[in-house]
Structure 1
Amino acid sequence: MKAITLPSFGGPEVLTVSEIPTPGINADEVLVRVVAAGVNRADLLQRQGNYAPPPGESEIPGLEVSGIVVQVGSRVEGWSEGDEVCALLAGGGYAEHVAVPAGQLLPVPDGISLVDAAALPEVTCTVWSNLVMTAGLQRGDTLLVHGGSSGIGTTAIQIAHRLGVRVAVTAGSAAKLERCRELGASILIDYKEQDFVKELRAGTDGHGADVILDNMGAKYLPRNVAALATGGRLVIIGMQGGVKGELDIATLLRKRGTVVATSLRARPRAEKAAIVAEVREHVWPLVEAGELAPVIHGRFPAREVARAHEELDRGTHIGKVLLTI
């Protein structure tokens, strides 16, 4: 099969189309013929040599795909050849075929095209597992989402809004903030021009955020703690702002706050399967009802994978970037 490999690390130019063996499958896996793959910041980090796949997983980039089942393992139930699916991966998505643990498969939701379904698995699993399963987000809470116009951000806004949560976002342009407002955010903060702690407190009558979903890490740590409400939960899912920051423990104690950092890629397969099952139960009905839709910035043919990475790296996108395979 053809796959996009990394003979070396560096800029987008190192992404190379190669001929490699089609993967075999274990008894609890299916083989998917890939139609589209999501492009995520984790892929950019892997390309740069800063985010190796978990041991034993494919070294081909790509954490989510959509496609058609072409082979089913002997212990797999509930899936058949010809099924249209999307899937959460630990790697291997930038290829014509990928082996997927059966527990990480999802049906393509009604009303979503097979290509666009590739935009759903990673973001919905990340958002649901962090906001609901980890942080306990619930109706009446206030949520602050950093990077509200990203793929994860646009998904978090929609899910939280449907849960009856007040959503605040940070983004870097008026156009991005307007799109966040259209999706359900009500407190809009331009991080280039405004102090998000001050703006959040003004917008919540001093309450702050019950939950913060943070992709920045170290750079925002002190201000995130300052922005928490009493009993607030800060969930860190990225390191775009660095890896080492200063934690004001006195403020955290006074607020009875929680700081948790999570990642999805390296979790055991059983944990991923549990997350996927919850997403299928709670999020897929929203998608099929038209209450949640993937926001697609662009679709690039696989031969233009370097251009897709450049687009994501520029940070001007709103929503998801996809590769069509």
Structure 2
Amino acid sequence: MRAVVLRRHGPAEILSLESVPDPTTGSEQVLVAVEAIGLNFAEVLSRKGLYGWSPDLPYVLGMEAVGVIEEIGDRVEGREIGERVLVASQFGSYAEKIAVAASSALPALDSYTPEENAAFGVNYMTAWVSLLEMARMRHTDRVLVSAAAGGVGTAAVQIASSFGCEVVALASSDAKLQLARNLGATDAVCYGNIGFPDQLLDTVGSRGIDVALETVGGHVFKACADCLAPFGRIVVAGYAELDYKLWNPISLWRAWRGMPRMSMESMYKGSKGLLSTHLGYLVPYPEIVRPVWDRLTTFVEEHKIRPIVGHVFQLADVAEAHQLMESRGSMGKIVMRV
């Protein structure tokens, strides 16, 4: 089969297709013929050697895909050849085939295209887990979403607004802010502007923010934390500004300085909470993941929510897809067809 194997860390240009053996199917696994792949910023960090959850080199990049089951392990029950599934894995999805634990192959949504299914799993689960399972979002909450035009951000804006919440969106350009408004945000602030923290405080006013979903870090995280109301909860689900070189102590200091954090004193004095989530560490707990997945898919179907697919590439164009994601110029989810 063809796959994108990461053999060394570096820029997007190091990525290309090569021929590798088909994966073998374990007794508790299913083999999936991949149709479309969803890109995640974590894969950019992995390529650069900055992602702690990455396996040792070499490995096939990619954490999610949609495809059709073509082989079933002898200890797997309740799955069928030809069943369309979404797969989640630590690595391996940038390929024509992937073998995963049967419990990590979740039913695809029949009403979605392959591209929409590829854009759904990681982003919408991250948004749902952050807002509903972690922050316990209520209909009366005012919700702040950073990087609101990205994959997780668009999902969070759609979910929170459909839940009945007032949504304040943060993004880096006017076009991205307009997309967030189109998806249900009531207010929008550009964090690329000079004076952004004061503009955000003016926008939210004395009421503040009840729930914030933050994926950027640095000055964006600080601004979000500063506008939390009493009983406010901020959930960190990423650190997109993370970038450093081991040989450059200044870059290491900047990465450390920009890391999302709150002091215990600020939390207890303000009755505020800092939470964090990473879906990868939930994969070994299907008894927890599957009920959450069922609640999420029921909700999006009831509210007719569809993922925002911003850009579609062919798998052979993986380097170009990574360049676009790293440029921060994309909106919605970047997807690759196989």
TM over 0.5: yes
User: In the alignment, which residue of structure 2 is the partner of 1:320?
Assistant: 333
Aligned pairs (5 A) from 1:1-325: 1-51=1-51, 53-54=53-54, 59-193=59-193, 195=195, 197-242=197-242, 243-245=255-257, 247-265=262-280, 267-271=281-285, 274-279=288-293, 281-289=294-302, 291-325=304-338
Q: Counterpart of 2:274 in 1: which secondary structure?
A: strand
Distance 1:169 1:108, change over 3 A: same
- Find the aligned partners of 2:57 and 2:118 in 1 and give their Cα distance: 20
Number of matched pairs: 323
Q: Counterpart of 1:152 in 2: which secondary structure?
A: helix
Task: Give the AA of the match of 1:244.
Answer: W
Distance 1:258 1:116, change over 3 A: same
Identity, in percent, stands at 29
**Is the 8 Å Cα contact of residues 216 and 239 (structure 1) preserved in structure 2?**
yes
In the TM superposition, what whole-angstrom CA distance separates every residue of 1:293-315 from its partner, at most 9, and x where no partner exists?
11011110111111111111111
Distance 1:233 1:290, change over 3 A: closer
- Find the aligned partners of 1:21 and 1:290 in 2 and give their Cα distance: 42
**Is the 8 Å Cα contact of residues 69 and 81 (structure 1) preserved in structure 2?**
yes
Between stretches 142-151 and 225-234, larger displacement belongs to 225-234
Distance 1:55 1:14, change over 3 A: closer
CA shift at 1:163, angstroms? 1.4
- Find the aligned partners of 1:203 and 1:93 in 2 and give their Cα distance: 41
Q: Counterpart of 1:158 in 2: which secondary structure?
A: helix
What TM-score results when the alignment is normalised by the length of structure 2? 0.88
**Is the 8 Å Cα contact of residues 200 and 223 (structure 2) preserved in structure 1?**
no
CA shift at 1:248, angstroms? 4.5
In the TM superposition, what whole-angstrom CA distance separates every residue of 1:14-41 from its partner, at most 9, and x where no partner exists?
1121221211222222110001101111
Task: Give the AA of the match of 1:126.
Answer: T
Q: Counterpart of 1:206 in 2: which secondary structure?
A: helix
**Is the 8 Å Cα contact of residues 170 and 177 (structure 1) preserved in structure 2?**
yes
- Find the aligned partners of 1:262 and 1:178 in 2 and give their Cα distance: 28
Task: Give the AA of the match of 1:160.
Answer: A
In the TM superposition, what whole-angstrom CA distance separates every residue of 1:27-65 from its partner, at most 9, and x where no partner exists?
222110001101111111111111254559992111110
- In structure 1, list runs of 5 or more residues that go unmatched: none
Q: Counterpart of 2:129 in 1: which secondary structure?
A: helix
**Is the 8 Å Cα contact of residues 53 and 91 (structure 1) preserved in structure 2?**
no
- Find the aligned partners of 2:119 and 2:307 in 1 and give their Cα distance: 6
Task: Give the AA of the match of 2:69.
Answer: V
Between stretches 154-163 and 216-225, larger displacement belongs to 216-225
- Find the aligned partners of 1:15 and 1:310 in 2 and give their Cα distance: 11
CA shift at 1:227, angstroms? 1.1
Q: Counterpart of 2:330 in 1: which secondary structure?
A: coil
- Find the aligned partners of 1:198 and 1:249 in 2 and give their Cα distance: 24
- Find the aligned partners of 1:57 and 1:291 in 2 and give their Cα distance: 41
Distance 1:17 1:55, change over 3 A: closer
**Is the 8 Å Cα contact of residues 68 and 83 (structure 1) preserved in structure 2?**
yes
Distance 1:273 1:309, change over 3 A: farther
Distance 1:177 1:221, change over 3 A: closer
Task: Give the AA of the match of 1:308.
Answer: A
- Find the aligned partners of 1:130 and 1:20 in 2 and give their Cα distance: 37
CA shift at 1:286, angstroms? 3.6
- Find the aligned partners of 1:273 and 1:54 in 2 and give their Cα distance: 24
Q: Counterpart of 1:270 in 2: which secondary structure?
A: coil
- Find the aligned partners of 2:40 and 2:5 in 1 and give their Cα distance: 16
Task: Give the AA of the match of 2:75.
Answer: R
**Is the 8 Å Cα contact of residues 282 and 289 (structure 2) preserved in structure 1?**
no
RMSD of equivalent CA atoms: 2.2
Q: Counterpart of 2:284 in 1: which secondary structure?
A: helix
Distance 1:132 1:57, change over 3 A: farther
Task: Give the AA of the match of 1:278.
Answer: V
Task: Give the AA of the match of 1:161.
Answer: S
Distance 1:11 1:179, change over 3 A: same
What TM-score results when the alignment is normalised by the length of structure 1? 0.92
